[in-house]
């Protein structure tokens, strides 16, 4: 091949000096271009390597990148279905305890989730979950308040029962009778002394007293005991109700407690 090249040079009409100069220029140009070509090849290889690393870092191969959007959409729609079902159950359970209008509005907005783009769907899911959580919290607060009110009512009823029980003792009944006799009838201590002796004989100031023979009932021994209902339906359990009836009965029948006591002394009843 070299001999053929030499022959071509000898037979060429171009002067030898120009051939040599051209060859030198080609050699110099090639030496200058070689580094640039190598550098471009290295940059291309580096870009391919970076692309592979990014794909691996995202947990998917290059061929999987095209289906990423579909995966995200499927997950969003699955979350939307779960959120929608949970919110509907929350409304059904708690709408009688708290205002569920906000949750219902959010549910309505999420119901057509298949028509929403990813961004709007994400916002609708979050809004529905927040409204559902708020409704559940409001219902829990309503339950807490109801429980507190029930506990307070029970405590008040217990306190009232205890107070009533204290008011039904003989000493408390005597104090009540003395106060009513003075304030409503104007009777003094002398009349109360007669009253005290009269009802001590009849019932020993026991609001639960009952005469087994006649059926007379309570502190004043009303016959029948149901007569005392004119002063309160609690006549069987409330000493004050019995006292009010008994004082009225004495005032109408005998004028004063001493009048009733005198009759009892004579006939053993009044």
Residue 144 maps to a domain: yes
Instruction: Check pLDDT > 70 for residue 11.
Output: no
Residue 220 maps to a domain: yes
Asked if residue 261 and residue 174 are part of one domain, the reply reads yes
Residues 136 and 144: beta-carbon distance below 8 Å? no
Give pLDDT, residue 18.
54
Average pLDDT value for residue range 142-159 = 96
Asked if residue 114 and residue 152 are part of one domain, the reply reads yes
The number of helices, as runs of H, and strands, as runs of E, in the chain is 9, 0
Q: State the residue for tokens 């007379």.
A: 216
Share of the chain above pLDDT 90, in %: 71
Asked if residue 131 and residue 201 are part of one domain, the reply reads no
Per DSSP, the three-state class of 100 is: coil
Share of the chain above pLDDT 70, in %: 76
- Per the structure, the complete domain to which residue 108 belongs is given by 73-163
Query: What's the chain's average pLDDT?
Result: 86
Asked if residue 219 and residue 178 are part of one domain, the reply reads yes
Instruction: Check pLDDT > 70 for residue 64.
Output: no
Residue 33 maps to a domain: no
Last residue of a domain, one of 109, 140, 163: 163
How many domains, in total, are found in the chain?
Answer: 2
- How far apart (Å, rounded) are the C-alpha atoms in residues 192 and 174? 9
Tokens encoding 26: 């080609």
Instruction: Check pLDDT > 90 for residue 176.
Output: yes
Residue 94 maps to a domain: yes
More confident residue, 48 or 177: 177
Residues 83 and 131: beta-carbon distance below 8 Å? no
Find the helix packing angle between 101-110 and 118-167, rounded to 10°: 160
Last residue of a domain, one of 163, 195, 219: 163
- How far apart (Å, rounded) are the C-alpha atoms in residues 27 and 45? 27
- How far apart (Å, rounded) are the C-alpha atoms in residues 192 and 186? 11
Tokens encoding 102: 């906000």
Give pLDDT, residue 19.
47
**pLDDT tens by residue, 161-174:** 898 889 999 999 99
- How far apart (Å, rounded) are the C-alpha atoms in residues 136 and 146? 15
Tokens encoding 103: 């949750």
Asked if residue 150 and residue 219 are part of one domain, the reply reads no
H-assigned helices in 58-117: 68-94, 101-110
Residue 98 maps to a domain: yes
Last residue of a domain, one of 98, 131, 163: 163
Give pLDDT, residue 59.
52
Q: 188 to each of 51, 83, 113, 181, 241, how far by Cα in Å?
A: 110, 78, 86, 8, 21
Residues 225 and 235: beta-carbon distance below 8 Å? yes
Give pLDDT, residue 69.
78
Q: What is the DSSP string of 195-251?
A: HHHHHHHHHTT-TT-B-TTT--BTTTTBSSGGGGGGG-TTTTT-HHHHHHHHHHHHH
Give pLDDT, residue 216.
97
Give pLDDT, residue 29.
45
pLDDT band at residue 63 under the 50/70/90 scheme: low
Asked if residue 131 and residue 176 are part of one domain, the reply reads no
Average pLDDT value for residue range 201-229 = 97
Sequence-ordered list of residues with C-beta below 8 angstroms from that of 134, at least 6 positions apart, any chain = 102, 103
pTM of the model: 0.53
Instruction: Check pLDDT > 70 for residue 1.
Output: no
Residue 9 maps to a domain: no
* CA neighbor of 80 nearest in space, from 43, 59, 39, 110: 110
Quote the radius of gyration of the chain (alpha carbons, Å): 54
Residue 3 maps to a domain: no
More confident residue, 99 or 35: 99
**pLDDT tens by residue, 71-94:** 999 999 999 999 999 999 999 999
Judged by average pLDDT, the poorest of 30-34, 169-173, 210-214 is 30-34
Q: State the residue for tokens 């809004």.
A: 127
**pLDDT tens by residue, 103-144:** 999 999 999 999 999 999 999 999 999 999 999 999 999 999
Residue 210 maps to a domain: yes
Give pLDDT, residue 231.
98
Asked if residue 262 and residue 187 are part of one domain, the reply reads yes
């Amino acid at each position: 091949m070299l001999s053929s090249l030499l022959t071509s040079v000898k037979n060429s009409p171009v002067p030898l000096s120009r051939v040599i100069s051209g060859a030198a220029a080609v050699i110099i140009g090639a030496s200058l271009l070689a580094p640039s070509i190598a550098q471009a090849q290295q940059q291309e290889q580096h870009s391919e390597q970076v692309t592979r690393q990014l794909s691996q870092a995202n947990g998917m191969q290059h061929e999987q990148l095209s289906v990423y959007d579909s995966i995200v959409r499927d997950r969003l729609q699955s979350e939307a279905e779960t959120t929608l079902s949970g919110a509907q159950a929350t409304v059904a359970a708690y709408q009688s305890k708290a205002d569920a209008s906000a949750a219902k509005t959010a549910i309505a907005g999420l119901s057509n989730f298949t028509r929403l783009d990813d961004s709007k769907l994400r916002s609708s899911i979050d809004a529905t979950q927040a409204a559902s959580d708020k409704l559940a919290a409001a219902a829990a607060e309503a339950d807490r308040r109801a429980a507190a009110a029930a506990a307070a009512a029970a405590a008040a009823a217990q306190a009232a029962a205890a107070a009533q029980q204290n008011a039904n003792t003989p000493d408390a009944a005597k104090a009540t009778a003395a106060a009513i006799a003075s304030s409503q009838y104007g009777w003094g201590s002398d009349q109360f002394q007669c009253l005290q002796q009269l009802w001590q004989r009849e019932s020993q100031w026991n609001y639960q007293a009952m005469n087994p023979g006649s059926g007379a009932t309570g502190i004043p021994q009303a016959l029948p005991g149901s007569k005392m209902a004119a002063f309160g339906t609690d006549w069987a359990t409330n000493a004050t109700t019995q006292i009010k009836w008994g004082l009225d009965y004495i005032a109408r029948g005998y004028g004063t407690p001493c009048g009733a006591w005198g009759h009892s002394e004579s006939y053993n009843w009044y």
